[in-house]
């Protein structure tokens, strides 16, 4: 049986920010196709969490890993979980000029961090599309 494609994507918000990172001179938000992964990360992430991607070249393949530092979220602003349609998420790089990282499969977890296999889509930086959506 083939794996089903999720039609929703979970994002984590704290105060006015969506969980994200800066990678290769671009801004990205992090989305979780599996809500269980978002709920696990939600317990440990906050504004001070370190989040980064490593791009690994292995033979003729490129492997991307997403690292999210863990620290129990005590006395920090809490994160809320927001679910959006996958179709809306796929428009972020075009409409909002923000890339999106899909945290696909949890590869490892230890006391210090979560490690996910990920894919990411770079922002398009189309100023005409961005301006038209501001109106």
Strand boundaries in 35-112, DSSP class E: 51-58, 61-69, 80-85, 99-109
For residue 23, is pLDDT > 80? yes
The Cα 88–Cα 71 span in angstroms is: 30
Question: Model-level pTM?
Answer: 0.83
**Is residue 122 within 8 Å of 42, Cβ to Cβ?**
no
Which SS3 state, helix, strand or coil, does residue 94 take? Answer: helix
Write the Ramachandran bin of 75: left for phi over 0, alpha for psi from -120 to 50, otherwise beta. Answer: left
- Asked if residue 59 has pLDDT above 70, the reply is yes
Q: Where are the domains of the chain?
A: 8-128
Residue 30: is its pLDDT beyond 90? yes
User: Quick check: 31 and 10 in contact, CB under 8 A?
Assistant: yes
- State how far the Cα of 63 lies from the Cα of 14, in Å rounded to an integer: 29
- Coil/strand/helix, residue 31: strand
Q: Residue 1 has what pLDDT?
A: 45
Per-residue DSSP letter, 3 = P
pLDDT tier for residue 79 given thresholds of 50, 70 and 90: confident
pLDDT for the residue numbered 102: 95
Q: How far apart are CA 3 and CA 70, in angstroms?
A: 29
């Amino acid at each position: 049986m083939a794996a089903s494609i999720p039609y929703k994507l979970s994002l984590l918000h704290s105060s006015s920010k969506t969980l994200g990172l800066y990678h290769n001179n671009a801004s990205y938000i992090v989305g979780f196709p599996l809500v269980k992964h978002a709920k696990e990360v939600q317990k440990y992430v906050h504004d001070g969490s370190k989040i980064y991607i490593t791009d690994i070249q292995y033979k003729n393949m490129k492997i991307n890993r997403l690292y999210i530092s863990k620290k129990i979220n005590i006395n920090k602003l809490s994160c809320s979980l927001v679910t959006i349609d996958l179709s809306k998420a796929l428009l972020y790089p075009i409409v909002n000029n923000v890339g999106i990282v899909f945290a696909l499969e949890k590869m490892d977890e230890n006391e210090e961090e979560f490690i996910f296999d990920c894919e990411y889509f770079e922002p398009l930086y189309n100023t005409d599309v961005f301006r038209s959506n501001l109106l």
